[in-house]
Structure 1
Amino acid sequence: MSDQNAAAESNPYEIRSFPVRRQVDGVDPRLSKWVQAVSFGFHDGAVDEETIEKYLASEEKDGRTATGVYAATSLKGAWDADYPVATYAAHRKTLNVGAGTLLPVHMITAVTVRSSHRRRGLLRSMITADLQQAKDDGLPMAALTASEASIYGRFGFGPATHHTSVDIDAGPTFAFRNPAAANRGLVEVADPVVLQDLEPVLFERIHAATFGSIARQDSYRYQASGYWSYANPERDKAVRAALHYGADGGVDGYVSYKFKGWDEKPAAVEVVDLLAVDADAYLALWNYLGSLDLVGKVVRHGAPVEDPLEWALANKRHYRRTRVSDHLWLRILDTKAALEARAWHHDAVVVLKVTDLLGHAGGVFEVKVAGGSASVTELVHDELVDEPRIHAELGIAELSSLYLGDVSPATLAAAGTLRGLVPGAVERLQTLFGVPVRAHSLTDF
């Protein structure tokens, strides 16, 4: 056996990362093959160079870093060794944790492992190294949206928001309990191309005001306008748009949507993107959608679990949830920093024992909340031996799920994943983590 073959057999994989950045002479060849591997992993079609140029332009603005696992050798006739057998990417933006606070967050995406290379620890190698780097860089939180819900709990991620898919009956029976509430301002049709400039401006306003919102990628403005999306890199000429104008004459909301075709019964439109800075714009845009001629149904994915539209309709049964699913998954990397950043609504003092198998955020923490702010102290062993001060124990994935209040401590206790250690501990946590408005994220990544 040659020295080269022996080295490849003893260490058959190498992890490499590189910034998604335009080179002087064009697209980085590493990126081209990395994109093809991602597309293969998500069962999308092969990607041409023009499409990769689109991805590059947006992802460079996001500051994305691409990571691949590369096999040392390849078989004759198969993809060569410059195509990664596993992929991973990350960029950094912000999460709205209440009271106007935008917490820095490490966002993970494009996770694939080629089926012929599974169960070899490739994802574990990538994600543990990446989380450690994020922790070293001072990021208190990591986040992702999961294609498969069974993968990420082992790495300390927990589902922290949910969203729904809904069908809304449209046409002659579409009506509001309070019609005046759905007729404030004006709605007018627009060329979808205007959304490329409107989407970032409107989303910034909504992100700053929406508990649980995570910042969007640059590509959203192209998806909203039908120019391109990762699912459909070609321009979608079926996408239409309407804008809402508020009392001051300015645009404070929009909807983009597409007709699903005459073969569907009843005829339906599907929402591509809907942004509204307030309830007036939100209901007026729905009034527009529900009143479209020749349309019997409006479909929306990513609607909030607690949706004002359901309670605004004259017939509540015209609002049907077809699916409820987890959406934003969080992973606390620094328990003290994360808990102190969050907005709190009830005063309390609790001591939590948090386990973290990766070692980033575990320990025993005293959380004192007063006046909407938390002070968190990590307790050492000597401070715990004289009295049973710990109120409850849980894993970092469970604490990450509790973080935005989307699930209650009582539910986790009943599920056996949170344990109260003193009488009344779960009830105290229930009060502490309660939120007045359910968290909602409008961003997939």
Structure 2
Amino acid sequence: MPGPEARYEIRRFHAEPGEGAGASRTAEWIRAVNYGFYQKAVGEDLLRQIVDTHVADDRELTGAYEVDASSIPGFGPDRPVATFATLRKTLNVGYGRLVPAHLVTAVTVRTDHRRRGLLRRLMGEDLARAKADGVPVAALTASEASIYRRFGYGVATLERRITVDTGPRFALAVKPRGRVLSVDPPVMRRLAPEIFALAHGAVPGSIDRQERYRLRAAGEWAEETGGPDSAARVAVHVGEDGRPDGYAAYSFRGWSHEPPTMDLCDLVAATPDAYLGLWEFLGSLDLVERVAWDEAPVQDPLSWALVDPRVLKADGAQDMLWLRILDVAAALQGRRFAHDGALLTRIDDPLGLTSGRYRVSVASGECQVERVPDDDPSPDDLTMDIAELSSVYIGGVSPVLLAEAGRIRSGEHSPEAALTLERMLAVERAPHCSTHF
């Protein structure tokens, strides 16, 4: 059987609206993505909305097309058998520092073309191109947790689903500063990006957002249809300085649902006061007895701010943001460190993009990275795969925990090296990513 290089043609392009050949190619690519994720067939209105957001995000779309399509009836040669999309955003790596990030999304391989090396080819070529462009880190959110570690990705943040009973037992121990206003959703077209920019600079692990988040906050994007969302409601937190610094987008499940429940669709907060102030507002909604949120942080200040923390019930944490360092020196030198120190680290990389030995030296919070030859006799302090370095990179995963799991190995002469690395990588607040892509 011929390999993927001979059997498939890889085409890369940007989304095009309208009626021409480029628009038809874009539409077939979007339909292939929907098919791959078992979603409903996309209608024309939703298709136009998706295309417009892809254009606004400047996404690069990649498709693998079968060179000699079978004569047996199927989808036809213009429908890709595998899809892959990328866009460039920024990642908050702590202390307000933003580094370029290469976001990977819409990864599908049709069932009748799996196990032929397509995903490895698409991922390998794409990450090599991103590294050549000088992007230090790639990121994705995974529909399946078992796929991406073999490409060097590691889990960097977690999230959990929570329900909060908002009856008489709901109360905060301390009154948050500022005030919360109910607003007409259309104003969020302007306000949502401004508020998110503040939060993006304040929360480690934050990924800059794509266009659909702005439309969703404005009540112009219902997830199922892509059209207007008549159930959308929005509350905005205003700080003591008069500046909007947080918002919550929510919708009611309907009176047939018991107990009466509000779904929290999105919560963006640049400050602890904004976060708790919005929760205080949600807890005061008349006739509502419960608020449900699928994307809550695992290390959540709300749990500790409640007078009765048992009104909050949480499901187990699940992986959210996966990171993949493409350039060790650029990634580490792009962030600030909490403690000074020096470590000699050996990195293994399944794709060979970052394999080698690195001396990491931190002074006054700034890092220098030096490549060390393999024949240098200096003993390694730590050995790990690039997936593990990617997991601990923004301070949301403990190197000590990974060492206890056997994922990070300390040298015999440096048994506390993992703890040293954890202290060096500490950030100013718990990392959390609220951007799915």
* Contact 1:166 1:323 (8 Å CA) reproduced: no
CA distance in 2, matches of 1:8, 1:440: 41
Residue aligning to 2:432? 440
Q: Displacement of 1:225 after TM fit?
A: 2.6
Residue aligning to 1:401? 391
One-letter amino acid matched to 2:407: T
> Helix, strand or coil for the counterpart of 1:360?
coil
Q: Which deviations, in whole Å up to 9, do the C-alpha atoms of 1:34-85 show, x marking residues without a partner?
A: 0001111112111123322212222212210000111130444321111011
Figure out how many residues of one structure are paired with residues of the other and give that number: 434
CA distance in 1, matches of 2:71, 2:223: 30
One-letter amino acid matched to 1:128: G
Specify whether residues 174 and 348 from structure 1 end up closer, same or farther in structure 2 by C-alpha distance, changes over 3 A only: same
Q: 1:198 aligns with which of 191, 200, 206?
A: 191
> Helix, strand or coil for the counterpart of 1:274?
strand
Q: 2:80 aligns with which of 69, 84, 109?
A: 84
Residue aligning to 2:46? 51
Q: Which deviations, in whole Å up to 9, do the C-alpha atoms of 1:197-231 show, x marking residues without a partner?
A: 21111111111121111111111111223311554
Alignment of structure 1 residues 115-154 onto 2, 5 Å: 115-154=111-150
Residue aligning to 1:188? 181
Alignment of structure 1 residues 220-235 onto 2, 5 Å: 220-235=213-228
One-letter amino acid matched to 1:106: H
Residue aligning to 2:278? 285
Residue aligning to 2:330? 337
Specify whether residues 9 and 237 from structure 1 end up closer, same or farther in structure 2 by C-alpha distance, changes over 3 A only: closer
* Contact 2:15 2:60 (8 Å CA) reproduced: yes
* Contact 1:192 1:226 (8 Å CA) reproduced: yes
CA distance in 2, matches of 1:235, 1:289: 23
* Range that drifts further, 347-356 or 209-218: 209-218
Residue aligning to 2:257? 264
Specify whether residues 241 and 395 from structure 1 end up closer, same or farther in structure 2 by C-alpha distance, changes over 3 A only: same
Q: Which consecutive residues of structure 1, in runs of 5 or more, have no partner in the other structure? A: 1-5
> Helix, strand or coil for the counterpart of 1:201?
helix
Residue aligning to 1:429? 421
Q: Displacement of 1:324 after TM fit?
A: 1.0
Cα RMSD after superposing both structures: 2.1
Residue aligning to 2:319? 326
TM-score (norm 2): 0.94
CA distance in 1, matches of 2:147, 2:3: 28
Q: Displacement of 1:245 after TM fit?
A: 2.6
Specify whether residues 166 and 75 from structure 1 end up closer, same or farther in structure 2 by C-alpha distance, changes over 3 A only: farther
Residue aligning to 1:15? 10
CA distance in 1, matches of 2:103, 2:270: 24
Alignment of structure 1 residues 22-37 onto 2, 5 Å: 22=17, 25=20, 28-37=23-32
Q: Displacement of 1:363 after TM fit?
A: 0.6
Q: Displacement of 1:8 after TM fit?
A: 11
> Helix, strand or coil for the counterpart of 1:346?
coil
TM-score (norm 1): 0.93
Q: Displacement of 1:434 after TM fit?
A: 3.1
* Range that drifts further, 67-76 or 399-408: 67-76
* Contact 1:32 1:49 (8 Å CA) reproduced: no
One-letter amino acid matched to 1:44: Q
* Contact 1:364 1:378 (8 Å CA) reproduced: yes
* Contact 1:96 1:211 (8 Å CA) reproduced: yes
Specify whether residues 89 and 395 from structure 1 end up closer, same or farther in structure 2 by C-alpha distance, changes over 3 A only: same
* Contact 2:45 2:227 (8 Å CA) reproduced: no
Q: 1:70 aligns with which of 54, 65, 69?
A: 65
> Helix, strand or coil for the counterpart of 2:88?
strand
Q: Which consecutive residues of structure 2, in runs of 5 or more, have no partner in the other structure? A: none
One-letter amino acid matched to 1:78: G
Specify whether residues 365 and 232 from structure 1 end up closer, same or farther in structure 2 by C-alpha distance, changes over 3 A only: same
Residue 103 (structure 2) pairs with residue 103 (structure 1): no
One-letter amino acid matched to 1:413: A
Q: 2:307 aligns with which of 310, 314, 332?
A: 314
* Range that drifts further, 22-31 or 290-299: 22-31
> Helix, strand or coil for the counterpart of 1:209?
coil
* Range that drifts further, 345-354 or 56-65: 56-65
One-letter amino acid matched to 1:437: R
One-letter amino acid matched to 1:409: P
Alignment of structure 1 residues 150-165 onto 2, 5 Å: 150-165=146-161
One-letter amino acid matched to 1:80: G
Residue aligning to 1:3? none
* Range that drifts further, 57-66 or 344-353: 57-66
